[in-house]
Amino acid sequence: MNELVLKTNNLTKTFKKKKAVDSLNLEVLKGDVFGFLGPNGAGKSTTIRMLFGLIFPDCGDIEIFGKSLKNNRRNALKDVGGIVEKSDFYLYLTGYKNLELLSSLSGKVDKKRIFEVLEIVGLKERAHDKVKTYSHGMKQRLGIAQALVSNPKLIILDEPTNGLDPQGMKEIRDLIKELSSSQNITVFISSHLLNEIEQIATRMAIINQGKLITQGYVKDLLNSEETKFFFKIDDKEKATNILTEKYSITDITILEDGLECKLKNDIIPYVNKSFVESNIKVYAITPKRTLEEYFLSVTENNEKY
Amino acid sequence: MINLIYYELLKIFKKWRTYIGFIAIGILIPLIEFVLYFSGQGIIENTTKRLEQDFILVGNLFNGWFVTHLIMNSLWIHIPFLICLVAGDVLAGEASAGTYRILLIRPVSRDKILISKYIATLIYTLSLVFFLAFISLGLGLLLLGTGDLLIFKDGLLILPQDELWFRFFLSFLFASYAMCVVSTLAFLFSSLVENSIGPIIGTMAVIIFFFIIGNLPYDFFITLKPYLFTTYLDVWTLVFDEKIDWSMIVKHILILSIYMLSLFLPTYLLFRKKDILS
């Protein structure tokens, strides 16, 4: 299960003396939903463009399924599909024709497979409409269809939920989970939203200013840091007492419909249990973690040690 | 490779801008021929009036061949412009539409993609010139009939009717080849930028500039003239000499080929290593 699917070795790219990606070492394992996190301008898209050979690295190498992209691009990308930034298509062609054209570049055109992927993304009914008539969400879904059309074993998605409404974001996330679990496709997904990656990824890497900050299993990385949680509850006073006395939490913010405090992920079930046993009604427990806050905590910890 | 060329042609011919050239030719040429049909006889009469003092001119000189030969002068500026509309967009259009990002992530070499795009561009160029041939000759002969061809080139020359099919076939063939140099230049410019307006304007600017300096009667420009590709775009006119100078045609074709190669080579080298940032 720990077979390496994608590996970057000291990947570096400079634009006009500014290092967009700086000695990046990533490891994606077979079966991963690998979250690639970073704020806007961190170097995510540059990295992804290098993974596809759209941009040439200044130094370093990329291995996909054990094959060097530099020396064996065709074989390295044979089982890879993806979206780079937003999904742009030939607007004057139909969705079907776009997929036919693109799959011809990957080998042979399989009409059955084209309709299959259009069905997966819910666009079968619109297959013969020109892409210029598609909404933004439909184009993103067509983007995923083109990533899947050549039966890839690895798909690389660059912020696929960008610009989508909450419903569209959920659909894409569900689709990614489905692809990973039922079709056994390894997924590499970039995002600037920590909570998005938290929901779907098994492993993740975080970059900032082109440098790798951390990499590992999502559970391990997020549980090791304290997160701000919002508790929607009825008895705030009683809850504050429990948190202070039983869990030694002092930094508590009382809000109109509940309270907020920082604590580790793994004690959440116990806190919840304590509240319920004390007859406090718990309506919701929501993590209020942002990528920026997470960065800060990781950086602070790095500085400590 | 044939598959790639097919899809490149599909992209070209599914775009509205591709038909601007065909529509322009399809409207303008019949319009010119109809106008000449009704009032063009005067051109021949004015030209031959003085000659009739010394010669007896018989037959239909204002015919389809004559009008087509007149129309072929659009090959200097007008047709190159129509070619640039498409050739300048083939690569730059992908960049501006962002479709390089779905095209070049596929497991196919950039070389193949570039070559297929280039071949598709050349096919479009040939199709446009042959469309011009079809419309101008077809309608011209239908409307104005046939006859000998009167040519004003270093004096007056009359080419017999029975040679004209062959001469016009060669002429359009060589014109197509010359126009391929124009499309190769537009293709080069198209690889450098992310907007197709630049390659269109750039190519036309180069052609017009080279034509102007190639025709200036000063020593410096006269010395420069053999090095300008526009000097050899007239290869199609060489088949209308009384005796076809094949060695001159071969020389023109060879020089045009060298230009094509030297314009395509940098395109190829640049495209192979180009970072796709669009």
Between CA B212 and CA B210, with CA B29 as vertex, the angle to 5 degrees is 10
Distance separating alpha carbons of residues A91 and B97, to the nearest angstrom = 9
Taking 90 as the threshold, does the pLDDT of residue B262 lie above it?
yes
Angle between helical axes of A95-105 and A136-148 (0-180°, round to 10): 30
Average pLDDT over residues B93-119: 90
Taking 50 as the threshold, does the pLDDT of residue B104 lie above it?
yes
pLDDT at A55: 92
Tell me how far CA of residue A261 lies from CA of A226, A254, A258, A295, in angstroms. Answer: 10, 9, 10, 18
Taking 70 as the threshold, does the pLDDT of residue B89 lie above it?
yes
Q: Of all residues in chain A, what percent carry a pLDDT higher than 90?
A: 25
- Of A140-149, A159-168, B84-93, the range with the lowest mean pLDDT is A159-168
With cut-offs at 50, 70 and 90, classify the pLDDT of residue B32: confident
With cut-offs at 50, 70 and 90, classify the pLDDT of residue B50: low
| Domain ranges, ordered by start, for chain B | 2-273
Locate B164 and state its tokens: 């004209």
Place of tokens 């890839």: A152
CA distance B21 to chain A (A): 18
Average pLDDT, whole number, for chain A?
Answer: 85
Contact between chains at A88 and B98 (C-beta distance less than 8 A): yes
Contact between chains at B103 and A102 (C-beta distance less than 8 A): yes
Chain A within 8 Å of B269 (Cβ-Cβ)? no
Select the residue of B7, B14, B99 nearest A88 (Cβ to Cβ).
B99
Place of tokens 């004559």: B66
Residue B234, burial from CB neighbour count under 10 angstroms (0-12, 13-18, 19+):
middle
Taking 70 as the threshold, does the pLDDT of residue B56 lie above it?
no
Average pLDDT over residues B37-53: 67
User: Which of B101, B109, B276 should one mutate to test binding to chain A, selecting the residue with the greatest count of A CBs within 10 A?
Assistant: B101
Contact between chains at A82 and B99 (C-beta distance less than 8 A): no
Contact between chains at A53 and B105 (C-beta distance less than 8 A): yes
Cβ atoms B149, B65 nearer than 8 A: yes
Cβ atoms B149, B164 nearer than 8 A: yes
Fold classification of A4-222 is Rossmann fold (3.40.50)
Distance separating alpha carbons of residues B81 and A226, to the nearest angstrom = 65
Contact between chains at B107 and A106 (C-beta distance less than 8 A): yes
With cut-offs at 50, 70 and 90, classify the pLDDT of residue A137: confident
Contact between chains at A85 and B98 (C-beta distance less than 8 A): yes
Contact between chains at A104 and B104 (C-beta distance less than 8 A): no
pLDDT at B215: 83
| Domain ranges, ordered by start, for chain A | 4-222, 226-304
Q: What is the pTM for the complete model shown?
A: 0.82
Taking 50 as the threshold, does the pLDDT of residue B188 lie above it?
yes
For residue A73, give the chain B residue with the closest CA.
Answer: B107
Select the residue of B14, B16, B102 nearest A146 (Cβ to Cβ).
B102
Neighbouring C-beta atoms of residue A198, cutoff 10 Å: 21
With cut-offs at 50, 70 and 90, classify the pLDDT of residue B256: very high
Taking 60 as the threshold, does the pLDDT of residue A303 lie above it?
no
Please state the φ and ψ torsions of residue A185, each to the nearest 5 degrees: -95, 135
pLDDT at A17: 84
Q: Of all residues in chain B, what percent carry a pLDDT higher than 70?
A: 92
Instruction: Report pLDDT digits (tens) over A98-126.
Output: 999 988 887 777 888 898 889 888 888 89
β strands within chain A, DSSP E: 4-15, 18-24, 27-29, 33-37, 59-64, 67-68, 80-83, 154-158, 186-191, 203-208, 211-217, 226-233, 252-255, 258-264, 282-287
Contact between chains at B101 and A85 (C-beta distance less than 8 A): yes
- Of A19-33, A129-143, A159-173, B194-208, the range with the lowest mean pLDDT is A159-173
Average pLDDT over residues B209-238: 87
Report the Cα A171 to chain-centroid distance in Å. Answer: 14
ipTM computed for the complex:
0.74
With cut-offs at 50, 70 and 90, classify the pLDDT of residue B218: confident
Contact between chains at B105 and A78 (C-beta distance less than 8 A): no
Instruction: Report pLDDT digits (tens) over A186-221.
Output: 999 998 877 778 888 889 898 888 888 888 888 777
Instruction: Report pLDDT digits (tens) over A223-248.
Output: 666 778 889 998 889 999 999 998 88
CB contacts under 8 A, B 95-154 vs A, are: 97-109, 113
Q: Of all residues in chain A, what percent carry a pLDDT higher than 70?
A: 93
For residue A53, give the chain B residue with the closest CA.
Answer: B105
CA distance B274 to chain A (A): 7
Angle between helical axes of B197-214 and B164-192 (0-180°, round to 10): 120
With respect to CATH, is domain A226-304 assigned 3.40.50? no
Taking 70 as the threshold, does the pLDDT of residue A296 lie above it?
no
User: Which of A90, A98, A131, A155 should one mutate to test binding to chain B, selecting the residue with the greatest count of B CBs within 10 A?
Assistant: A90
Instruction: Report pLDDT digits (tens) over B140-162.
Output: 888 878 888 878 777 777 888 88
For residue B16, give the chain A residue with the closest CA.
Answer: A92
With cut-offs at 50, 70 and 90, classify the pLDDT of residue A290: low
pLDDT at A107: 75
pLDDT at A305: 42
pLDDT at A116: 86
List of residues 6+ apart from B217 with CB closer than 8 A: none
pLDDT at B175: 92
Contact between chains at B102 and A87 (C-beta distance less than 8 A): yes
Inter-chain CB pairs, A–B, below 8 Å: 80
